[in-house]
Chain A
C-alpha cells in the first residue's frame, strides 16, 4: 500500500470537517474490508492523501427502534445485524442478507455503511494498477466501458448507463424491500435518500464532503412473510450473481401487500413495481408466479454474454414466491 496520512475522528462533525479540509482527497474508513483492497491494488482513480478512521464515533453503533422506525447506525457490524434477535424476527431479509455476505471474519469488522458504500466489483475497474497500469474505464475517466465488448458475465442486464458494473451490496437489495432511507450527513446538515436512489451510474448520491450516518426503515406491515435468496457460485465469500428479496402480506389466500427487490442485475437495486402490482389481490398459484417473474424481468437488456442472469432472476423470483406461499399455508 502506498502511504497516506491517517486520522481518527470521534464525531460525524469532525469527520466532515476533515473531509472538507482534504477537499475530496481523503477516504473514510470503517471496517476497511473494501477500502484496503482498493488501496492495495491501487485501483481508485486518485490515490487518497488521507484515510480517516471513523470507527471511534460512538453513536453510530446501535440498532434502535424509535416510534416504529428502525434506525441502524452506519457503524453497525454485519455480524451484529445477522445475529440481532430484533432483526431476525422483524427484518429477516436484512439479517439473512447480512449473514450471506463474505465470511465470519469479514462480518466481524465490516459495517452496514461500508457495505452500502463499497466500490463495484467489475474486474476491469478493479484491475490491479501494478500489472501494466490501470484499465481506463468510464469510472476512471476513460471513454468507454470495456465490459460491453469484453467479458461481462457478471455485469448489468438492465439499467446500465455507460458503466455496466452492478451494485455489489446485498444489503442495498434487502433495504429496498423495506423502503429504507439513507441518512447522509454533510457540511450543510442532513438529508435522506431512498436506498433505490442512492446509487448513480458512476457512483453514489454522496457528495465528496458527505458521509452515511445511518439507515432508517419505516414500519413494516404486520405479519408479513419475508424471504431473501442470493445466488452465488460459491457459498461463502462471494458476491451475488442475482439476489432477490421479497415481502408479502396476505389476506386469506390473497396477496394484500407485495414487495420484490432484485439485486446484482443493475447499477442500483431494482424494485419490480410492475410485478408487485400484478401480485396484489391474487392468490399465489403457478400461473401467477410465472407471470410475475416475466413482468419483473421484462425491461432487461442483457449484453451478449450475460443473458443467463435473466433466467436465474426469474427462477429466484419463482422460488421465493413458492417458498412464501408454502410458509403462509403452514402458518394458518
Chain B
C-alpha cells in the first residue's frame, strides 16, 4: 500500500509492483481479483495468459468465457440493449460495460444464481415469466429477469410506471414486453404504489 501506483486488483497479490508507462502487460503479473458470483467465491488471476483475466476483459466476457456462466447474454456489447444485465451489489448493471479488473470484491448475481441453491426451485420471477410465456426467442429474457429482480428488490410493489421505468433499459426484438408486464403484474399484485 506504500506504493502510490499500486493496482487495485493486486490487493491479494504477494508482490506489489509499480506499473510503468510503456512497459506493456507484463507488469500485471500474478495479481488477483476476487469476485463473489452467485454465492461462490472466485479468485481470478490477472495477466495476459489464456487462463488469466486481461485488463481489457469485460465482466460479461469473464462470466461467460472464464466462469462458463453463459446465461448472461451479449447482444449489442455497447450498453444499449440490456441483454447482459446482472446484479452487482444488488443493483442492475450492464456487464458488457464494466471491466472485470474494476469489479474486485463485488457481489455479482446472474440468472444462474436466481434459483434456490438447495431445492433447485426457480425464483418466483422466473416462474411467472414461464407461466405468462413472457418471451419469444428468449435471448433478452435473462436481462429482463435480472432487471425485474433489481426492481423488486427496490420496490417490492412497483407501480405500472415504476415497472416500465425499471425495465426501460431492456430491449426485446420480439416485442415480448406486454407479456413481461403481465408476468410482473401477476407477481406483485396491482397495488400500485411501493
Contact = CB atoms under 8 A, between A and B. Distances in A.
A108 interface: yes
A36 B5 contact: no
Contacts, number: 122
Contacts of B22: 49
A8 B55 CA distance: 11
Interface stretch (A14-22, A154-162, A256-264, A305-313): A14-22
A6 B147 contact: no
Q: How large is the interface on A (under 10, 10 to 19, 20 to 34, 35 or more residues)?
A: 35 or more
Nearest to B146: A105
A104 B56 contact: no
Contacts of B19: 5-7, 50
Interface stretch (B118-126, B163-171, B178-186): B163-171
Given A33-B79, A53-B8, A237-B80, A6 B55 contact: yes
A203 interface: no
Contacts of A224: none
A23 B48 CA distance: 25
Contacts of B25: 3, 5
A177 B7 CA distance: 39
B21 A50 contact: yes
Contacts of B77: 40
A234 to B, nearest CB: 9
Interface string A2-43: 111111110000100110011101100101110011011100
Nearest to A38: B78
Q: How large is the interface on B (under 10, 10 to 19, 20 to 34, 35 or more residues)?
A: 35 or more
Contacts of B165: 104
A8 to B, nearest CB: 3
Contact of B48 (A2, A3, A26, A31): A3
Contact of A105 (B5, B9, B56, B85): B85
Contacts of A51: 55, 99
A106 to B, nearest CB: 6
Contacts of B29: none
A321 to B, nearest CB: 26
Interface string B47-60: 01000001110100
A106 B170 CA distance: 11
Interface string A99-141: 0001111101100000000000000000000000000000000
B97 A8 contact: no
Contact of B27 (A5, A40, A104): A5
B82 A105 contact: yes
Contacts of B169: 102-106, 236-237
A197 B108 CA distance: 40
A26 B21 CA distance: 9
B23 interface: yes
Contact of A25 (B21, B78, B92, B101): B21
A1 interface: yes
A219 interface: no
A95 to B, nearest CB: 14
B21 A21 contact: yes
Interface in B92-112: 92-94, 96-99, 101-102
A235 interface: yes
Contacts of A25: 21
B140 interface: no
Contacts of B21: 5, 21-23, 25-26, 49-50
B68 interface: no
A58 B4 CA distance: 15
B166 A104 contact: yes
A6 B7 contact: yes
Contact of A6 (B28, B80, B82): B28
A104 B150 contact: yes
B60 to A, nearest CB: 11
A291 to B, nearest CB: 36
Given A5-B27, A22-B21, A50-B19, A104 B79 contact: no
B98 A32 contact: yes
A1 B56 contact: yes
Nearest to B170: A103
Given A31-B97, A49-B22, A104-B150, 8 more contacts: A1-B56, A14-B5, A53-B8, A56-B8, A104-B92, A104-B166, A108-B91, A109-B93
Interface of B: 4-9, 19-25, 27-28, 48, 54-56, 58, 77-80, 82, 85, 91-94, 96-99, 101-102, 147, 150-151, 165-166, 168-170
Interface of A: 1-9, 14, 17-18, 21-23, 25-26, 29, 31-33, 36-37, 39-41, 49-51, 53, 55-56, 79, 102-106, 108-109, 235-237
Sort A-B residue pairs by CB-CB distance and give the 8 closest, nearest first: A103-B169, A8-B8, A6-B55, A236-B168, A1-B56, A108-B91, A105-B94, A105-B169
